[in-house]
Amino acid sequence: MNRIIFTQVPELGRSNVRVKDPVHVENALKTMMKDAQHKLQVIADFDWTLSKCTEDGKTCSTTHSVLGESKHMPEYYRTETRRLKDIYMPIEFDPTKTVEEKIPKMIEWYSKNHELLVTCHLTKQLITTMVRESRARLRDGCKEFFDQLHNMEIPLLLFSAGMGDIIKETIQQQATFYPENMKIVANFFKFDDTDKMVGFSGDLIHTFNKNENSVHSGDYFSNIRHRENLLLMGDSLGDLGMAKGADNVQCSLKIGFLNFQVDKNLDLYMQNFDIVIIEDESLDVLNGLVRAIL
Ligand code: TMP
């Protein structure tokens, strides 16, 4: 317990935080602290990573359920998305299935959902209202996290298989969206001239194709090639693919939020993430790391 990681980042010593290999984390942290703001980049998932999984004992909304739970959406949409979620979400988090087995099921789920959404007469104004009335909550400390990264001009890629417009609206309402250093890659709506949603722009992004999406063929990562130190954060094993295009990264720390089914999933998360944060609705550990690095 007397390693410098625990003095530099006391949050790492909390009982709900697991460090897989303290020597690796210490070495990575030393490199990141030496390079400070000059070489850091951050990639984060959104749903239940930057946003809360629960608050006051109740499940918080994902970007999808902002729509699926809203009284402003047609009854048929709410019923059908609930039914689909009951079928497909257990598959997404099933530790006994491989990613290859899960992918066709995710495509099925997302395609059905998107087809349905286009029939629902969504508008930009309605999205603002639905986010305000929803149970989508940024994690405690999220504004501090965004502010720290913005103040030091650290690129933050929000990579989500959720709804991009809802992510942006949630951040605007509950923190600050900084266009200078924040880029969102997600499923964005297409609107017509009257602000009515008429479809989706770009390729479909689901939980397990975050490693092959447009951002990796665009110039995002080539423009920040000098940023060799990476903090990656997610709540699903699929999130590990988010950094695939960041091929110049020399030093990384992968931080996993294990929000539920802890006994079932802890071993798997420990094998895949460097730091695992268990049932914690704050960004304290991330803020501690960023504070130490910057
Ligand atoms: P993310 O972790 O990349 O933000 O992934 C989006 C989450 O949204 C993922 O856990 C699946 C979930 N989802 C729903 O809750 N409802 C839906 O209708 C769909 C298509 C996905």
The predicted pLDDT at position 275 comes to 98
**Which residue puts its alpha carbon closest to atom 8 of ligand 1?**
162
The predicted pLDDT at position 210 comes to 78
The verdict on whether 45 is a catalytic residue reads yes
Class of residue 248 by CB neighbours under 10 A (exposed 0-12, middle 13-18, buried 19+): middle
pLDDT reading at 278 higher than 80: yes
232 pLDDT band, cuts 50/70/90, is very high
The predicted pLDDT at position 95 comes to 80
pLDDT in tens, 248-270: 999 999 999 999 999 999 999 99
Q: Higher confidence at residue 215 or residue 281?
A: 281
Is the shortest distance between the CB of 236 and ligand 1 below 6 Å? Answer: yes
Is the Cα torsion angle 166, 168, 172, 176 positive or negative in sign? positive
Structure-block tokens of residue 180: 């200078």
Angle formed by the axes of helices 164-174 and 124-133, nearest 10°: 60
Q: Which atom of ligand 1 is nearest to the CA of 161?
A: 3
Q: Are 146 and 287 in contact (CB under 8 A)?
A: no
Q: Does ipTM exceed 0.85?
A: yes
Instruction: Give the length of the chain.
Output: 294
Q: Ligand 1 mean position to 49 CA, how many Å? A: 12
Residues 6+ apart with CB under 8 A from 84: 109, 112, 113
The verdict on whether 274 is a catalytic residue reads no
Q: Read off the pTM.
A: 0.94
pLDDT in tens, 12-49: 999 999 999 999 999 999 999 999 999 999 999 999 99
The predicted pLDDT at position 159 comes to 93
pLDDT in tens, 104-128: 999 999 999 999 999 999 999 999 9
The predicted pLDDT at position 202 comes to 86
pLDDT in tens, 161-195: 999 999 999 999 999 999 999 999 999 999 999 99
Q: Higher confidence at residue 247 or residue 188?
A: 188
Q: Which atom of ligand 1 is nearest to the CA of 186?
A: 3
pLDDT reading at 65 higher than 80: yes
Among 45, 235, 274, 280, which one carries the catalytic annotation?
A: 45
Is the shortest distance between the CB of 64 and ligand 1 below 6 Å? Answer: yes
Q: What percent of the chain has pLDDT over 70?
A: 97
Is the shortest distance between the CB of 46 and ligand 1 below 6 Å? Answer: yes
pLDDT reading at 2 higher than 70: no
pLDDT in tens, 67-99: 999 999 999 999 999 999 999 999 988 889 998
Q: Which atom of ligand 1 is nearest to the CA of 48?
A: 2
The predicted pLDDT at position 292 comes to 97
The predicted pLDDT at position 247 comes to 87
The predicted pLDDT at position 216 comes to 67
pLDDT reading at 1 higher than 60: no
Structure-block tokens of residue 92: 């997404």
218 pLDDT band, cuts 50/70/90, is confident
Structure-block tokens of residue 193: 């001239």
pLDDT in tens, 134-170: 999 999 999 999 999 999 999 999 999 999 999 999 9
Helix-strand-coil split of the chain, %, nearest 5: 45, 20, 35
